[in-house]
Amino acid sequence: MRNWKRVLVIANAQFGNHRNLLKGIAEFSQEIADWEVEISSVEDLNSEYDPGIVGYIAPQAAIQTPWFHQLMQNKTPLVFYGNRINQPPFNKASQFFPDEKQIGKLAATHLINKGFHEVAYISHDTWPCSEERGHGFADIFHDKSRDIKTFYFPKNNEKKAFLKWLSQPGGSKAVFCVTDIVSSQVLLLARQHGFQCPKDYSLLGVDNNELLCTLSYPSLSSIATNWFGMGYDVAQQLNKEMNGPSKSVNKTCPPDQVITRTSTDLMGVDDELVLKAFQYIQRNFKNAISTESVVTLMHVSRPTLDNRFKKVFGKSVSEQINDLRIEFASHLLRSSSMNIQTITNECGILNNDRLYRLFHKRYGLTPGEYRKQHLKED
C-alpha cells in the first residue's frame, strides 16, 4: 500500500510567478507519485497547525503565521521560496530565491547589445528585490564606463524627475523596471505626458507576466525568471527532507532569458551604417555569415566597420554575430530536446567544437551542462 505524504504549498495562483512555481512542483510530484498536495494562500491559512501535513513549501510572508514557529521547533520539513529570509529561526530552513543581481545584469547586457547609452532604472518601494536588481544593472554599465539614472517610484518628485529625464534631448533612451507591474505603470505615466513607447524610449521589465505584458500596448518585453525550475528544485529539496535528515540549502536561481516584444523594438543606434549592418546580422546570423560577408555587403573595410561597432556596442562585428548565435543556442537548449549537432546547425555555427568554445567562454559550462542546469525535467 502506497504511503501518501500530505504536502501544503502556500502560494497565490493569481500571480504569474506562483503559477509557474506550482507547475514546477507539479512536475516533480508527478514523478515521485506519493504526494497529496494541498494549496493555500497566506491569507487563507488555517489558524491552527495541522499535524497531518508532513511537508511545507512557503513564501517569506508565511513566517508571520504564529504556528510557523512550531514547525521550526518540531523540525517539520519546510522549504521557503521567493525573497531571502534572514530572520531567525527561519533562516536555518532551506531557501530558494531568484538571483536578483543576475537579473539586473541580464537586463543591462540586453540593452547594451541594442546600442543604448542613455538608460534609467526604475526602482519601487513595494518590491524588496529592487535594490539588488538595481545593483546588478548598474554594475554592468559602470564596467562599460557608462552612467545610469535611477528613479525611486512611487514618490511624486521621482516621477517628475523621470519625466524630465525622458524629455531631455540626446540619443535614444531605454528604461529598465524592477517588475512588469512597474513597467505598465511607467508606460501609462509616460503616455499621459505625451511620450510614446517604443518611438521615444524602450521599456523592459521582469517576471514575464504574459497576460500583463501582452495586454499592454505596446506589448512589454520582459525577463523570464524561471520560476518553473525553482518550483521543481524546491519540491525536490522538500522530498529529501521528508525522507530523512537532510542538510538545509540556500540556492539562487538564475534568470531564464529576455522575452522580446514591441516595447524594445527601438535600437539605440544613431550610426546608420552600424544599424543597417546590425539589422542584417539579426536577420541572417542563423546562416553561414561572417564578418567578411557583412563588410562586403556594406561596402566598407573590416577595420572601419569593426571600429564603428565597437564605438556603439563595445564589441566587434564577429563578437556581435557570435553573441546572437550563443543566445539562440541557449534558448534552444532550454526550450527543446534537439541534440547538440542540430542546435549547432540551427545557429549557423561551423561545428560542435566551435559551439563548445563559445559556450564555455560565455557561461563557463558545456552546452550539456547548461541544459542540465536549466531543464530540470530532463
> What are the mean pLDDT values of the chain's consecutive 10-residue runs (378 residues total)?
87 88 94 91 86 92 90 93 92 94 94 89 93 95 84 95 92 93 96 93 93 93 91 95 91 88 83 88 91 94 93 88 90 86 92 91 87 60
pLDDT at 337: 84
CB-based contacts of 80: which residues, under 8 Å, 6+ apart? 57, 58, 59, 60, 62, 90, 93, 94, 95, 96
pLDDT at 172: 84
pLDDT at 376: 45
pLDDT at 1: 61
Go through the domains of the chain in sequence order and give each one's CATH number: 5-98+227-254 (3.40.50.2300), 100-225+259-264 (3.40.50.2300), 272-374 (1.10.10.60)
Rounded to the nearest 10°, the torsion over CA 253, 257, 258, 259 is -110
Distance in angstroms (rounded) separating the CA atoms of residues 122 and 359: 32
In sign, the C-alpha dihedral spanning 375, 376, 377, 378 is positive
Model confidence, pTM? 0.78
Task: Estimate the crossing angle of helix 302-313 against helix 272-284, to 10 degrees.
Answer: 90
pLDDT at 375: 57
DSSP string computed for 65-77: STTHHHHHHHT--
Radius of gyration for the alpha carbons in the chain, expressed in angstroms and rounded: 23
**Which helix H or strand E contains 158, and what residues bound it?**
helix 156-167
Q: Which of 206, 120, 104 is nearest to 163 (CA)?
A: 120
**Which helix H or strand E contains 112, and what residues bound it?**
helix 100-113
CB-based contacts of 24: which residues, under 8 Å, 6+ apart? 227, 228, 229, 230, 231, 232, 233, 234, 235, 376
Name the residue with cell 510557523.
68
